[in-house]
Structure 1
Amino acid sequence: MTLLHSPPALGSSLPLARDLARFGDRTAFVTADGEISYQELAGRVAQTAERLGTGRRLVLLPGANTVEALVVHLAALSAGHPVLLAPGDHPEAVAALTAAYDPDVVVHPAASGAWRIEERRPGSAHVFHPDLALLLSTSGSTGSPKLVRLSYDNLQANAESIAAYLGIRETDRAATTLPVHYCYGLSVVQSHLLRGAGLVLTGLSVSEACFWDLFRAARGTALAGVPYTFDLLDRVGFAEMDLPHLRYVTQAGGRLAPERVAHYAALGRRRGWDLYVMYGQTEATARMAYLPPELADTHPGAIGIPVPGGSFSLEPVEATAGGDEGTGEGPGEGVGELVYAGPNVMLGYATTPDDLALGRTVDVLRTGDLARRTEDGLYEIVGRRGGFLKILGLRIDPQQVEALLERHGVSALVAGDDTTLTVAALRGPGRDARRIRRRVVEACGLPPRAVDVHLLAELPRLASGKPDRQAVRALARPALAGAASGGGDLCEVYARILDRTDVTPDSTFVGLGGDSLSYVEMSLQLEQRLGHLPPDWHTTPIRDLRPPTRPAGTRARTRLETSVALRAVAIVCIVGSHVPIFTIRGGAHLLLSVAGFNFARFLLTSAERLERVRRTARSIGRIALPCMAWTAFAMLVSDDYGLTNLLLLHNAIAPQDMGPGIHLWFVEALVYILLTVLALLALPAADRLERRFPYGLPLALAAVGLLTRYELVGLPDRSKITDAVTVFWLFALGWAAARAGNVPQRLLVTAVALATVPGFFPGELGREVFVMAGFVLLVWFPSLPSRQRINQAAGLLAAASLSIYLTHWQVYPLLDGISKHLAFAASLVFGVGYAAAVGRLVRRLPAPRGLARWTGRAAPAEPAGPAELTGRRS
């Protein structure tokens, strides 16, 4: 639309935004759609500046990591228009800031093409100070009317300072891993534009494979992250990634634990990049201190030295300022409030539109952090003076949260630590912890997992009557205590089933080392307690597992996970066919697909490559060792097995043997397959390939397996080679089924199964139908309608399926002469009892380091895999 022009601007403009054209044909932005040069960017900025007009007006811009958003941002700053940068992913904040500051121009995002510029009036309703350039929400106060007023000198000085200590080059290309409405993310953009460097412009998360595809293709040199970003990097195997152009990684937005700083510093040294730990606040335009990379190993807890052009001082504080409120604890010797001075310190705050006319109201920045200066001249943060909290990189004012809740009729006290905001609310009619959490989440921008709400009969107070925030903070830790004392919450259930003492509300089944044996029991317990089984519960934090909301008077529908049902049915069919009291064959081959399905779910997590290898090795041990132990016992009481069985080599050495020695073919085949996959994924290139193509790789492996299934590679007849070679495609199809993320992918993997299973068992149509039907259920139906008693029985059978399979060969011959039905029942019951006895024995044993590698009991670990899958070839 055409904008009406106002009188000429009296204010300044931002040089780094005004002088883009001087970098000519250098690349400014790299996006998934191509590259944009500085010359092209400067032209688009100039065109947009002309649309905005020459008269100064307040421009409200929702921030986004897109070309369109940055063009408007740079255009406004180059033309002298003050910019109110709002969170682009928070429409409520945009609405609140619009109502509070009445901007003259509002920019509206568009799904594609140029963003729409709405002119709300021809001139301006406001009076601006000539230096006013940018208005930012203080970190964590999303939508709050309290804004930080930044000048053109603030922005330029901070960009120059950052570019100097990072040594940014024109050949650098930094990824926009943080939102531009956040001062840290904005500083990455501005410091690189200042030097004519490139930006890999994306809104993708570092947890997405597409991000890394773009980063590598763009020859990315720099990454920026808050502490949570580094959690994601751990999950995606960053340590093993091949990033040949990466020069440095920066960290700010909250404290990163010293041990993790040291870890990443050492990793960078090995891989050829530097780690810069930084410290800043929105009030200082972004950065106030940085830790030189060469000091990260020896001083990982320090924030470092002031940025170029800045300086620190320590202001004495009262004796009680450094301790918890009401405790009287002092801040410690040599500790004072950290005060920063420099050209990047804000003009001051704004709380109303009238404040936009103000000049500088502060000369230095009192950070509210308590710090000390070490003998090496480095600064270390030791606590907070004021009541602000910094949670997951967001600064939260507990009193503002309390005031927000009070406006909604809820009396509350708020406290917290680096990871959790704890709310103690007064219990009352209609009070709902979920609604309170939702209000706090929306107001603060925190993820739901970081807000812990407790409804209390009385709010905790000190003897003086002041709020007891220490007691509120302590409320965040009852779950683990409940696990230890026998409480009835989910943490206790996880602790009991997984035999762990380190369960917290943020724990997940996968992260605690749950495997496919404990998965069965845990899923049944959740179904019973929650009334349903949430999707992806095994990777969901415990605190987010809640009963569904349903209309009053309606009952929850009991369901059973399909993989559990298939394992239970398969082991029943296997034993029943062996006794025999019926003949339903194909269970073992169906379970190969279930094994591949569970392999993808439990072993192919976001852990780094070496950890995946260790967990797969543990999975193999959990399959092989029980089998070898029972085989040794069976060799003492019968002549069924020999040394080749004990060593799990019989099927490889004598595949044509159809005597008792072939009983354990399925276990051997599964062990061989897992060893092969282990060797494959131990290769860095294969590991990267799986992360990039999580569905395509197993589908390609299935295609390779089909070469042996159809005897297309010159191998001997399949009866003369180990079964692992000829049935691998079924395992790979199950793996692909677990990775199928949409309908077309599920259709393809189903079509492959339905096309390739027929003919594998010549003359046994029923067997083929059984395998195909089970596979279809596995792919398309995550759970099945059931009843509680059926769930309990299925859970027992599925969890004990390995024990049932191993022991039934020796149990049913003792009774089948008396009654085949008795022999069948006894085999199942004995196997369930044996599994329970072994489980109790393992829990009572101490877990030394050697044992812990196989049990996962000593340290947090992700699951070990499908240990209980069993079957029979004949």
Structure 2
Amino acid sequence: MTLHPAPLISGKTLPLARDLAVHGDRTALITSDGEISYGQLAERVADTAPRLGTGRRLVLLPGANTVEALVVLLAALAAGHPVLLVPGDHPEAVEAMTVAYDPDVVVHPGPAGWRIEERRTGSAHVLHPDLAMLLSTSGSTGSPKLVRLSYENLQANAESIATYLGIRDTDRAATTLPMHYCYGLSVVHSHLLRGAGLVLTGLSVADTCFWDLFRAARGTAFAGVPYTFDLLDRVGFAGMDLPHLRYVTQAGGRLAPERVAHYAELGQRRGWDLVVMYGQTEATARMAYLPPELAAAHPEAIGVPVPGGSFSLEPVEEAAEEGVGELVYNGPNVMLGYASTPDDLALGRTVDTLRTGDLARRTAEGLYEIVGRRSRFLKILGLRIDPRQVEVMLERHGLSTLCAGDDERLVVAVVGKPGGDARRIRRRVVDECGLPARSVRVHLLPDLPRLPSGKPDYEAVRSLDRTADRTLADGADGEDLCALYARVLDRPDVTPDSTFVGLGGDSLSYVEVSLRLEQRLGRLPASWHTTPIRALRSPEPKPPSRFRALETSVALRAVAIVCIVGSHIRLFEIRGGAHLLLAVAGFNFARFLLTSAERRERVRRTGRSIARIALPCMAWTVFALLIGADYDLSNVLLLHNALFPQDMGPGIHLWFVEALVYILLAALALLALPAVDRAERRFPYGLPLILVAIGLLTRYELVGLPDRSQITDAVTVFWLFALGWAAAKSRTTPHRLLVTLAALATVPGFFPGEPRREAFVVIGFVLLVWFPTLPSNPRVNQVAGLLAASSLSIYLTHWQIYPILDDVSEPLSLVTAVLFGIGYAKGTERLMRKVPPLSRLVPVRPGLPRFRRRST
């Protein structure tokens, strides 16, 4: 076999990456697409290395558990290029590190292949010969402070791990952790060192597909952080048939001793070992391991130093017991030091020993145990959290707080009245720290706990949470989520087996429930609205990411209400939102009302949704009449557009509500017919296409009806609602292409002389069809959700609110109208909750925006 030589570079390289070919035809990688041998992997690495340059350059690589990312990583390390490894799922971190360190080469992931961008021919930096890799410290994703690791660090760490785990060339380890995380990276390096196989995947252990791949690959090992073991409980790991499994490793935070003992005993019964490990990024991953034969008897210990390393205990004032001191580590895997600026890349070793900050003792058996922390830093899910910084942050918001915690959660005590907004405080802490919401507990107290000396009583803060029920792995216990569903949907019969759709949830309550779930789970699971409450869970913990996804239908509703109100004020001209939202209404109708429920239940839910749209509108219209609005009884009864279609005065303001109510009434009448109900279930995509065709007869005035201006708008815009319905039922690419082509063919010409308005509708519809979610962040999600959830109230009230300030300031008029609508929505919601019978009949949970005819 002939290999292309790596570029000749002065300096050191990583032996385990350089010597891949010595393992010959042994299997190196197993993916869902097949296997790659070490020889093939070595060829790919050798082919990629020249693309990184012939002189040493700083390479920024977004880490991912893919063949492409691994090849680039190994090519850089084999050729002597220092690698700045950043999270592949965190674009903000990529941007921040690019700005902070000005890499010479940036690798860009992409569906068509990974692209290598050479930003200059040489290097802008002085790179120390020993520098091999830069990794973020735990919990500091996006921070310019990095750990500088040498080739010796990486090689020594891999050899140490391979030795105490007894890794064989027949082993096959699954990549259950991200490659940019030092723990996940150590799994990759230690197995490549021994010529073992990697089951390369980005799937979670909660996915059935992961275990299918693991079994097919004859997997022998996988790694987990504490949360992984919660997920294993959920998926029935104890009863799985995994005949080739040899060992499971655990690190990334403290696993409760009883959990260690449980899994150690399970492994003894099932024929595999549990290896508990302890480490830090500053030690290139591992410093200690607990021999598996001791795990059941000593589950509280971190074990003994890894081969080549040693511990010492240095006396400190914080140690309250004899024999306890700060744990200090020495070994060849101790980092070179930290980097905070590009100038630090020229530094050599600035650290010889690693002061861990942990207080520990050595037992009579020679095992080390962690008993506390020298500083108040916490390590939750492997992320370092400084409680003092959290206190300072909350103080900036006018809150008096004390923060403490352990390796499972951060406890925040706040001076406040019972019933205050603890959830908002928790969200603020979550955003600041990058923790999942399940790991933050907020307690409102009349006064902060103090010692007799007047100093903060942090032990009392920690004790606040000890009597609370242990949270489930999904970040909120089942009762908590059941209570959420019961409150928002006004249903007393919620159980852990209930689903949002099964409880009658629709587009009007979807926004609030989705936002509340994201707050509690950290991320909104796919298809959550059809998932039983007991199955809702957070993803496995990763180094913190501020990236979120915003559902496209929610984004469109939020953008539309702002565009509608702004256009009415004439602050700007962005029209077409009402007609786009008819498609969104059809989309949500199909998602939430066309469920597997029996026909009578479908009809009942559709009727209730109509009432939730119509009754709040009628109530506000009565109030508007009382304060002098130019409405009449036809507006109150939602009949104005049907009785006076040619009226272009203020009476048409509510045309969109009327049109949507009429369309939904027509849909209700159709679905009430047993034959139509059966046809929809058998042809869920075909039926709405037929309705689109029928709607186009009136859209193009092909059935002898009067001119558009002389008939109710519901007749001429029904085809848009049906298109949205068909889009929601599209399950294949041809389905999506067909509804997209239908929109591209039929929307143009509907607004003669207004191409921008038509483009707005088409672009929004294309986003709805092809992009279920859009990139976002938690703050944008909150704002968009608030706007979408309050959009009915904003629309209903803005006609009477914006004229008050329109002559003073158009931007101020827009802001005031929006804020008033939000306040009206919140006030009405609270009022209705005090009247249970009415709240069940008319739950004012604003949702779809209601818009103006022709002028929008």
Question: 1:140 deviation in Å?
Answer: 1.3
Contact kept? 2:230, 2:473, Cα under 8 Å: no
User: How far apart are residue 268 of structure 1 and its match?
Assistant: 1.1
Q: Is the counterpart of residue 313 in structure 1 residue 312 in structure 2?
A: yes
Q: Structure 1, residues 20-64: CA drift from partner, whole Å, max 9, x if none?
A: 111111111101111111111111111221000121121111111
Alignment of 1:82-93 (within 5 A): 82-93=82-93
SS at match of 1:360: coil
3-state SS in 1 of match to 2:97 = helix
1:679-709 deviation line (CA, Å, top 9, x unaligned):
xxxxxxxxxxxxxxxxxxxxxxxxxxxxxxx
Look up the match of 2:324: 335
1:542 and 1:46 mapped to 2: Cα distance? 42
The answer on 1:422 being equivalent to 2:411 is yes
Which among 508, 519, 537 is matched to residue 478 of structure 2?
508
Report the equivalent of 1:185.
184
Matched with 1:598 is: none
**Deviation per CA, 1:133-189, whole angstroms, max 9, x where unpaired?**
111111111112211111100000010000011111111100000011111100000
| 2:528 pairs with 1:539 | no
C-alpha distance in 1, partners of 2:382/2:275? 16
Change over 3 Å in CA distance of 1:379–1:403 after alignment to 2: same
Give the match for residue 129 of structure 2.
130
Aligned to 1:76: 76
The answer as to whether partners of 1:506 and 1:541 remain within 8 angstroms in 2 is no
Shift of 1:504: 13
2:49–2:79 Cα contact (<8 Å) kept: yes
State the SS of the aligned residue for 1:57.
coil
CA offset digits 1:460-484 (Å, max 9, x no partner): 7767776554455456569779xxx
Question: What is the 5 A alignment of 1:214-613?
Answer: 214-318=213-317, 321-322=318-319, 330=320, 332-401=321-390, 413-423=402-412, 437-438=426-427, 440-453=429-442, 469-470=458-459, 472-473=461-462, 476=465, 506-509=476-479, 519-520=493-494, 535=529, 538-539=533-534
Question: Residue 53 of structure 2 corresponds to which residue in structure 1?
Answer: 53
Cα distance change, pair 503–165 in 1 and its aligned pair in 2 (3 A): closer
Distance 2:37 2:176 in 1: 21
Q: Structure 1 residues 372, 63: CA separation in 2 closer, same or farther (over 3 Å shift)?
A: same
Supply the distance in 1 between the matched residues of 2:120 and 2:69 (Cα, whole angstroms).
21
**Aligned-partner SS, 2:478:** coil
Counterparts of 2:343 and 2:165, CA distance in 1: 38
Deviation readout 1:198-247 (Å, 9 max, x if unpaired): 00000000000000011111111101101100100111011111111111
Residues of 2 paired with 1:789 and 1:470: CA distance? 39
Residue 62 in structure 1 maps to residue 62 in structure 2: yes
Question: How many Å separate the matches in 2 of 1:7 and 1:173?
Answer: 31
State the alpha-carbon separation in 2 of the partners of residues 478 and 139 from structure 1: 29
Q: Could you say what secondary structure the match of 1:204 adopts? A: coil
TM-score (norm 1): 0.55
Decide whether the 8 Å contact of 1:568 with 1:794 is kept in 2: no
Contact 1:49 1:79 in 2 (8 A): yes
CA 1:45/1:503 → structure 2, altered by over 3 Å: closer, same or farther? closer
Give the match's secondary structure for 1:234: helix
Gaps of 5+ in 2: 1-5, 515-528, 540-553, 566-588, 605-727, 733-828, 841-856
AA in 2 matched with 1:204: L
Shift of 1:393: 2.5
Q: In the TM superposition, what is the alpha-carbon distance from 1:456 to its structure 2 partner?
A: 7.9
Q: Letter of the 2:183 partner, please give it.
A: Y
Distance apart, 1:298 and its partner CA: 1.1
Counterpart residue number, 2:29? 29
Deviations 1:285-340 (A, max 9, x none): 1111111111112111111111111111111111xx14xxxxxxx2x121111111
For 1:364, give the aligned amino acid. Answer: T
Q: 1:410 to 1:261 in 2, by over 3 A?
A: same
In the alignment, which residue of structure 2 is the partner of 1:849? Answer: none
Q: In 2, Cα distance between the equivalents of 1:157 and 1:260?
A: 30
User: Does structure 1 retain, via aligned residues, the 8 Å contact 2:8–2:79?
Assistant: no
Q: Which stretch of structure 1 is more off in the superposition, 158-167 or 388-397?
A: 388-397
Residue in 1 that maps onto 2:20:
20
Give 1:74 shift: 0.9
Q: Kindly provide the amino acid, as one letter, of the partner of residue 108 in structure 2.
A: H
Q: SS state of the match for residue 207, structure 1?
A: coil
1:750-807 CA distances to partner (integer Å, 9 max, x unpaired)? Answer: xxxxxxxxxxxxxxxxxxxxxxxxxxxxxxxxxxxx9989987999xxxxxxxxxxxx
CA distance in 2, matches of 1:65, 1:13: 22
Structure 1 pair 410–347 and aligned structure 2 pair: CA distance change class (3 A): farther
Where 1:390 maps in the other structure, the secondary structure is: strand
* Structure 1 pair 229–563 and aligned structure 2 pair: CA distance change class (3 A): same
State the SS of the aligned residue for 1:143: coil
1:525 & 1:463 partners in 2: Cα distance?
54
Alignment-derived partner of residue 172 in structure 2: 173
* CA spacing shift, 1:220–1:99, aligned 2, 3 Å: same
CA distance in 2, matches of 1:155, 1:277: 20
Equivalent in the alignment of 1:714: none
8 Å CA contact 1:149, 1:349 repeated in 2: yes
Q: Distance in 2 between matches of 1:530 and 1:36?
A: 45
SS in 1 for 2:533: helix
* Cα distance in 1, alignment partners of residues 16 and 34 from structure 2: 23
Give identity over the alignment, percent: 71
SS at match of 1:191: helix
CA gap of 1:466–1:51, structure 2 versus 1, over 3 A, is: farther
Distance 1:510 1:221, change over 3 A: farther
Secondary structure of the 2:372 match is strand
CA distance change for structure 1 residues 72 and 396 in 2, over 3 Å: closer, same or farther? Answer: same
Q: Secondary structure at the match of 1:254?
A: coil
Q: Which residue of 1 aligns with 2:212?
A: 213
Aligned to 1:150: 149
Please show how residues 638-677 of structure 1 align to structure 2 within 5 Å.
Answer: none
Aligned residue type for 1:79: A
Please name the residue that 2:99 is paired with. 99
**Structure-1 residue corresponding to 2:159:** 160
Give the distance between the partners of 2:366 and 2:407, measured in 1 at CA.
26
**1:682 equivalent in structure 2:** none
1:140 match: 139
- The whole-number CA distance in structure 2 between the counterparts of 1:503 and 1:69 is 30
1:506 deviation in Å?
3.4
Q: Give how far 1:118 is off.
A: 1.7
User: Which letter maps to 1:508?
Assistant: G
State the alpha-carbon separation in 1 of the partners of residues 142 and 437 from structure 2.
18
Give the 3 Å change call, closer, same or farther, for CA 8–196 of structure 1 in structure 2: closer
CA gap 1:434/1:262 in 2 versus in 1, 3 angstroms: closer
Cα pair distance change 1:794/1:359, threshold 3 Å: closer
1:764-803 paired onto structure 2 within 5 Å: none
| Partner Cα separation in structure 1 for residue 597 and residue 473 of structure 2 | 30
CA 1:103/1:410 → structure 2, altered by over 3 Å: closer, same or farther?
Answer: farther
- After superposition, the C-alpha distances for 1:591-629 in whole angstroms (9 at most, x for unaligned) are xxxxxxxxxxxxxxxxxxxxxxxxxxxxxxxxxxxxxxx
Q: Say if 1:227 and 1:393, in contact at 8 Å, map to a contact too.
A: no
- What secondary structure, in the 3-state scheme, does the structure 2 residue paired with 1:509 have? helix
Preserved contact between residue 438 and residue 474 of structure 2 (Cα < 8 Å): no
